[in-house]
Amino acid sequence: MSILVDKNTRLLVQGITGREGTFHTNQMIAFGTNVVGGVVPGKGGQSFEGERGKLPIFDTVRAAAEATGANASIIFVPAKFAPEAMYEAADAGLPLVVCLTEHIPVLEMISVRAYLDQRQTRLIGPNCPGLITPGEAKVGIIPSSIVTPGTVGLVSRSGTLTYEVVFALTQRGIGQSTCVGIGGDPIKGMDFIDVLRLFEADPNTSEVIMIGEIGGNAEEQAARYIADHMTKRVTSFIAGLTAPPGRRMGHAGAIVEGKSGTAEGKIAALEAAGVQVAKNPDHIVEMIA
């Protein structure tokens, strides 16, 4: 069992004919993901020539979903068009949308998030690596070669740290149930609590790794949720302990304002909730092992 994506995922790729869309569609298919079609306005009726045969291309997400029975979409389109792509996926009734696109304006994402919430569409991203369930499905750009099936769930704001920790787990023979990169933008879809709730309910996830970073208060909110609701062990790492005050570090949401959002505050909140907090990413695997 897994969360969010599995063998039953029927995936549409919005922007399938672009350079990134083409490359990663083939990577997802090679992993075993059931990609059922693509969406490119103006190219409906054409076919995507993938490494394992042809896939139909549609002008709209609604037409694609009706024809293929899709239940998820991944978005590979520029920031200028990404909000409309998310609106369209929600209007088509897709329960899960993954948006990898960077540099979407915050004000636009506020409107997108509110719109998708009204339609009960789960959004992962934007500005994220997506997610992967080893042995079942990959929706995003997390490298297939670093994962192995198992029972440790992982949720992270950082794509790079996701890769580093997952690879280290695999090297130690510790498998993963599902790895979810939620992204580091200030306004996004699913947050730590949303994913932790799913891991807590998943009978085949035995424990969880949570990778956070400076900026915002998502980790403090997650700490309260863990203390009140999680029965499974949570191990964490917070990036940015040595970041200069007031400086954004990498992600748009990774900025400390005053005393809010500091690594020290997040670590203290997590430790008070009974969470093991690693001093560096390498220590996470030692704690799990």
Helix (H, G, I), strand (E, B) or coil at 89: helix
**Which residue type is seen at 164?**
E
- Tell me whether strands 176-181 and 130-133 are parallel, antiparallel or unpaired: antiparallel
Distance of CA 127 to the CA centre of its chain: 9
What residues act catalytically?
251
Query: Which residue from 75, 158, 81, 159 is spatially nearest to 121, judged by alpha carbons?
Result: 75
Residues 152/208, Cβ–Cβ less than 8 Å: yes
Taking the CA atoms of 214, 217, 222 and 223 in sequence, report the sign of the dihedral they define: positive
Query: Which residue from 106, 99, 86 is spatially nearest to 126, judged by alpha carbons?
Result: 99
**CA–CA separation, 143 and 161 (whole Å):** 13
**CA–CA separation, 158 and 139 (whole Å):** 16
The partner residues of 181 in beta bridges, in order of sequence, read: 130, 156
Residues 3/198, Cβ–Cβ less than 8 Å: yes
Helix (H, G, I), strand (E, B) or coil at 95: coil
Residue 160 contacts by C-beta under 8 Å, 6 or more apart in sequence?
none
- Alpha helices (runs of H) in 102-217, residue ranges in sequence order: 106-118, 159-171, 192-201
